[in-house]
Structure 1
Amino acid sequence: MNWSECSFQFKCQYNFKKMKRNVLITGTSTGVGYQSALLFGENGFKVYATMRNLKKADALKEQITQNNLDIEILELDVTKTASIKSAVETIIDKDGRIDVLVNNAGAGFAKTTEQSSEDEIRWVTEVNYLGTVFCTQAVLPYMRKQRAGQIINITSVGGLVGQPFNELYCGAKFAIEGFAEGLASYVTDAFNINISNVEPGGISTEFMNSAVDKTKTNGQLASGEYLPIFQAYLEGNQKRAEESEVQVYQTGREVAEVVLKVAQNDNPPMRIRTSQWAEELCELKTSADPDGTKLVAQVKSSFL
């Protein structure tokens, strides 16, 4: 039994409903989103796999055909509200409901605050935070009307622990954590809409490569007095991955397996890390309330 299985065995109660549940997943062209679309499809969900650029859908289309999966690919750019609304309306027109939203779309960003442009700062906030807010806003009326729903946000250990050269990315992920906690404090009891944050550590997908490509400036992610600090940061990452006693980098499939288990749980956690390494990194922040349910209960008793 692997780590994620152990973390769920004491509480996981699978939801065997007769009605086939549908799921909207953002950012499915690669990585965790791609693997989540396949895994949900393999486990009997009707999947709406969305992505900004439909030209990147070939790999997913091939898997759908080969495995006869109930997956429909839609265009959805999380930085454009019109695109979000169009995708949601398409699903509602076809199915009349959205059971699960997986806010997966996001992008890494590793650069100093001082050397980041205004456009870069706005972009990393839009794609990693506001996209989650606007997708959630778009599905909430339908989930509220049906008095059932589940919203799963793929955040990060960077949403709990600030890290060097990732402060802008971490700031966006911290924002999702606060957004989710606040939302969960009233929509779960009132409308039966569960909110969960899935918090991976390192993922061995295209995520980091895209982060590096996006944030390069004249061939470097940092320059001047920041450069030696950044080089030490990169060397530390590599050393940790090589020497750590626990696995630092997970595959997209391993993270997707945790996402699926959260979706299948009748009483899902408010938050969950996806690996032992991620758990250990966040221990000082999470030891008193590992899955976040105590904090939400305290908030509700204090304000409602």
Structure 2
Amino acid sequence: MKRVVLVTGTSSGVGFESSLLFAEKGYKVYASMRNLKKADRLKEKIEEGNLDIDILELDVTKVDSIKGAVDTIIGKEGRIDVLINNAGAGFAKAVEQASEEEIRWVTEVNYLGTVFCTQAVLPHMRKQRSGQIINLSSVGGLVGQPFNELYCAAKFAVEGFAEGLAAYVTDAFNIKISNVEPGGISTEFMNSAVEKTAVDGKLASGEYLPIFERYLAGNQQRAAESVEQVYQTGREVAEVVLDVAENENPPMRIRTSEWAQNLCELKTKADPDGTKLVDQIKRSFL
């Protein structure tokens, strides 16, 4: 029997590549996205490879949309074995210059979407006494970064959510929880972050301008240093996601490149994969 996987945010980037890779490896894939008008490239790949992928509409900021997609999968398959909480969006703007709408949006897309998608699949995984939830977190979930404080806060929240959940659902219901933590990804994710922020004329102004210019220059320099794997491809990150899904004892957290590992070393050296911390949480509270 094929394992059934639901992937969110599959119109591009890691979600797109994960959908293709999991299908190539024999999974039944439900690839979801907010805007089905962006599904043409995925449809072409499905047809080219004769891949077992169904495309679903799912907006992670809308609970009814999430529930509808999950109900559709359960109605067809009777189970969901793997949830990949991939949907997210970059955001780079000083908190002082961000609007209330932007602050709510970055939190909803990058944190609450993960919570509500997880909430929707948990009853089914609990009933089947098995399941795996893989969150596309970020090195920004461990290390705060300039002009990314709002994005990092959302990813820090994902990390805490996953740690707390893993402390009790894994042993009780055989539901495994992991956070995959890339550094930079050379996909539309990066482009959208710049589009939504730097080019709107609001960020690069006032006393923040010289600091932000240094920040952008650093990003450009790191992007040129491909030999150090600063910015990975979506496919490279998707391969890490697949490795986690096929690991009988998956890590609580895993970085996807040497650069990401080095950036987070001060936070992770004592417990690189997070399993010691989860064990300590269990001993302390359960």
Query: In 2, are the aligned partners of 1:204 and 1:251 still within 8 Å (CA)?
Result: yes
The amino acid of 2:115's aligned partner reads: V
Question: Superposition pairs for residues 32-51 of structure 1, below 5 Å?
Answer: 32-51=14-33
Q: 2:265: which partner in 1?
A: 283
Aligned counterpart, 1:162: 144
Partner of 1:67: 49
Q: Distance in 1 between matches of 2:204 and 2:57?
A: 34
The answer on 1:124 being equivalent to 2:106 is yes
| CA shift in 2, pair 1:244/1:88, >3 Å | closer
Quote the Cα distance in structure 1 between the aligned partners of 2:162 and 2:218.
Answer: 32
Q: What TM-score do you get using the length of structure 1 for normalisation?
A: 0.92
Match of 2:156 among 174, 177, 180: 174
AA aligned opposite 1:112: A
Q: Give the equivalent residue in structure 1 for 2:229.
A: 247
Does the C-alpha gap of structure 1 residues 268 and 214 become closer, same or farther in structure 2, counting only changes over 3 Å?
same
2:181 counterpart of 1:202: no
- In the other structure, the counterpart of 1:272 is 254
User: Cα offset for 1:56?
Assistant: 0.3
1:242 is displaced (CA, Å) by 3.1
Instruction: Deviation per CA, 1:276-303: give whole Å up to 9, x if none.
Output: 0000000000000000000000000010
Q: Secondary structure at the match of 1:266?
A: coil
Whether 1:236 aligns to 2:213 is no
Deviation at 1:243, TM superposition (A): 4.7
Runs of 4+ in 1 over 4 A off after TM superposition: none
Does 2:14 correspond to 1:24?
no
Do 1:212 and 1:221's aligned partners in 2 also have CA atoms closer than 8 Å? no
1:299 to 272, 278, 281: 281
Partner of 1:58: 40
Q: Kindly state the Cα deviation for residue 239 of structure 1 after the two structures are TM-superposed.
A: 2.1
Contact preservation (8 Å) 1:129, 1:172: yes
What's the TM-score once normalised by structure 2's chain length? 0.98
Aligned to 1:257: 239
Instruction: Please give the per-residue CA displacement for 1:135-155, whole angstroms capped at 9, x wherever unaligned.
Output: 000000000000000000000
1:91 is paired with a residue whose SS is: helix
Q: 1:245 to 1:59 in 2, by over 3 A?
A: closer
SS in 2 for 1:114: helix
Out of 115, 118, 124, the position equivalent to 2:97 is: 115
Deviation of the 1:245 alpha carbon = 5.8
Matches within 5 A, 1:85-164: 85-164=67-146
Structure 1 counterpart SS, 2:55: strand
Whole-angstrom CA distance in 2 between matches of 1:241 and 1:98: 37
Q: Aligned partners of 1:218 and 1:244: how far apart in 2?
A: 28
Task: Give me the whole-angstrom Cα distance separating, in 2, the residues matched to 1:213 and 1:244.
Answer: 23
Task: Deviation per CA, 1:249-292: give whole Å up to 9, x if none.
Answer: 10000000000010011110000000000000000000000000
Give a deviation string over 1:146-195, Cα, whole Å, max 9, x none. Answer: 00000000000000000000000000000000000000000000000000
1:9: which partner in 2?
none
CA pair 214-241 structure 1, distance change in 2 beyond 3 A: closer
- Structure 1: runs of 5+ lacking an equivalent: 1-18
SS in 1 for 2:97: coil
Q: Which amino acid aligns with 1:241?
A: A
The amino acid of 1:294's aligned partner reads K
CA contact (8 A) 2:97 2:202 kept: no
Aligned partner letter, 1:184: A
Gaps of 5+ in 2: none
CA distance in 1, matches of 2:30, 2:225: 40
Give the Cα–Cα distance (whole angstroms) in 2 for the partners of residues 37 and 187 of structure 1. 26
Offset of residue 208 of structure 1 = 1.1
> Helix, strand or coil for the counterpart of 1:198?
strand
Secondary structure of the residue aligned to 2:236 is helix
Task: Assess, with a 3 A threshold, how the Cα gap between structure 1 residues 205 and 243 changes in structure 2: closer, same or farther.
Answer: closer
Opposite residue 175 of structure 1, the aligned amino acid is A
Query: What one-letter code is carried by the residue in structure 1 that aligns with 2:149?
Result: E
Matched, 1:187 2:149: no
